Chain A
Amino acid sequence: MSDVASYSPRTAAWARRRRSFSDGISRLRKDRVAMIGLVVLVGFVIMALIAPWMSPRGGLSAVDSINNPTWHPPSRDFPLGTDHLGRSVAAQFVWGSRVSLLVGFAATVLTITIGSLVGISAGFFGGWTDAVLMRLTDWFLVIPFLPLAIVLAAVLDRSIWNIILVIGVTSWPSTARLIRAQVLTVKTRLYVDRARALGASRPHIVARHILPNVAPLILASVTLAVPIAILTETTLAFLGLADPTQNSWGKTLEEAFGAGAIGRNAWWYHFPAGLGIVAVVLAFTLFGRGLEEILDPRLREEGARR
């Protein structure tokens, strides 16, 4: 790099990143499975966004549904039937996607933020900071995740923001570990040392050198953290720890089970919500795997060598 005068290392690095980015995009587009995942995802996100236009919120209220037939199988008026209170299951499905996706995304943002902060600090500062943070991370990794989330949620008030908080503060450790490992790799690369030797400040090194190299990994972690967050919300909601005023898919399943949908063979009540969860989680996982394969050089190697 250094013997080409018109080419500063920084522009070279950015050019390399841009190149590998567009290279990555075109690889991703060739990955059919990942693309199917993406399309399904976009579909659900659109559904969540336009929920108010697709089905009026009143459909979720038992009072407004007082004149509807109860336990009604799918029909023209009720494409997914009605529940034990006469509410439209279709409306619950549409609105449920909103809550499940919101919790999934918001909790992931929290998870990734905490995980990245801990991972980058531990990896970058090293020494006792690293020792303390990693000890804490290990403790959180050992404690079974779901019971911790349950206990936390049980102590806090039932609200959608507390659910997000609970998922966020219990699921960051694996992200922190992943990011720390990557920071250590980046740190050992020559140019960080060189930047430090030239007198660059620490924030400068983090912003210019560490972050751009860790960003792809953070992105991949996001796509793999969202499905975990959605599944956790579903379980917490099923156990009765969710916000009673918000209809997530997990909440629908809880109500369906509690109302005896299974004994009544009212498959239309519990089947759509479960299928929605599976579809979204699977879509995220497939897209995330595709992304990871492109962003993680170690995984790419496997495909190339054999």
Chain B
Amino acid sequence: MRARFVVGKILGSLATLAFVLAVNFFLFRVVNDDPTGSLFRGRNLSPDQIQRRREQFNLTGTKFEQFLAYLRQTARGNLGDSFLSNRPVTTEIMEAVWPTLLLVGTATVLAMLVGIPLGIHAGWKRRSRFDAASTSFSMFTYSVPDFWLGMILLAVFAVGLGWFPTGGFEDAGSNATGVAALLDQLHHMALPALTLMLAYIGEYVIVMRSSILDTLNEDYLQLARAKGLRDADVRRRHAVPNALLPVVSLTALNFGFVLSGAIAVEAIFSWPGLGQATLEAIRGPDFPMLQGLFLVFSIAAILANLIADLLYAHLDPRVGGR
């Protein structure tokens, strides 16, 4: 990879970040003419309090001055204080990041590990019974709202059969440590992780399958077969390495949604992560929190996008000016 390529991609990401910051600023202050109206809606505040809030949110001076003040503040890592808890938004978010990362990260990895081989097999044996079954399954999970799937799993496995807890991160009041605590957390994570895995799997199957189909007509597969390679080796050594390229970037991109991917599902399982925090911020409404969450979600996506681009260039010798 040439340095110019990498620098170009990083500059592009910074431009996107600038755009996000602008959206984040103007959305809350410009969409509604009176920013105090949208920022403090539903809150009973005295004129005095409102003035203090105005200063806290840099609502004094011209729009441009306000924007600069917002940028300065954000660059220092100050995202304001939550309306609901009165604690810094940054602190609130930091506390909720880990549970979300754990839950969605696990589900994404599992979905990949199951979905990619399914997709490869379905594409290679296209129009077989296996292909029909796995494609139908994927289309179905693709069409199901993830939180409803969570509700059904919750109703069947937690409420009905009682195999799993109905929600939370660990047993309330549990002071278990070590392995016991880990098992308890895994027990709580099982249903939400299964829900998300089922919700994600379809995309991997469909993308991997169509990527394999794209390679099927390639001349290099014909040549590999002519060399005398076994069908399985043609697939493993020639079709899959090429077909994986788009899936690698899909995966990298999906990791950008790790933080924001489980908003509704976390709500179903009372999982104390960023999704739950988002729901509470909506209900508040807690605009500083919402604004901070949006910024964090976007930064994760921008980073994932950058990584996807660089990874693709690293893996595909044709890209990146090598």
Contacts and interface: CB of A to CB of B under 8 A. Distances in A.
Size category of the binding interface on chain A? 35 or more
Contact of B151 (A154, A240, A270): A270
Contact of B294 (A135, A151, A241): A151
Contacts of B152: 271, 274
B108 interface: no
Nearest to A234: B145
A267 B160 CA distance: 11
A146 interface: yes
Interface stretch (A20-28, A53-61, A109-117, A281-289): A281-289
Nearest to B301: A144
Given A265-B160, A274-B148, A306-B217, A152 B140 contact: no
B256 A154 contact: no
Contacts of B287: 154-155
B103 interface: no
B143 A285 contact: yes
Interface stretch (B24-32, B177-185, B243-251): B24-32
B147 A262 contact: no
Contacts of A235: 145, 147, 263-264
A282 B298 contact: no
B107 interface: no
Interface string A222-264: 0000010001001100111100000000100100010000110
Interface residue SS majority, chain A: helix
Nearest to A305: B217
B268 A257 contact: yes
Contacts of A274: 144-145, 148, 151-152
Residue in A155, A263, A273 whose Cβ sees the most chain B Cβ within 10 Å? A155
Contacts, number: 131
A240 B280 CA distance: 10
A285 B142 contact: yes
B27 A155 contact: yes
B290 A151 contact: yes
B139 A286 contact: yes
A150 B31 contact: no
A263 B154 CA distance: 9
A125 interface: no
Of the candidates A235, A262, A281, A302, the one having the most CB atoms from chain B within 10 angstroms of its own CB is A262
B239 to A, nearest CB: 14
Interface stretch (B15-23, B43-51, B70-78, B224-232): B15-23
B311 interface: no
B159 interface: yes
A156 B257 contact: no
12 contacts: A142-B305, A143-B298, A144-B297, A148-B294, A154-B287, A154-B290, A234-B148, A257-B151, A263-B159, A270-B148, A285-B143, A286-B139
Interface of A: 135, 138-139, 142-144, 146-148, 150-152, 154-156, 227, 231, 234-235, 238-241, 250, 253, 257, 262-263, 265, 267, 270-271, 273-274, 277-278, 281-282, 285-286, 302, 305-306
5 smallest CB-CB distances across A and B, nearest first, come from: A274-B148, A281-B143, A282-B143, A147-B297, A139-B19
Given A147-B297, A263-B166, 14 more contacts: A139-B16, A139-B19, A143-B20, A143-B301, A144-B256, A144-B297, A154-B290, A238-B264, A263-B159, A267-B155, A274-B151, A278-B145, A282-B140, A306-B217
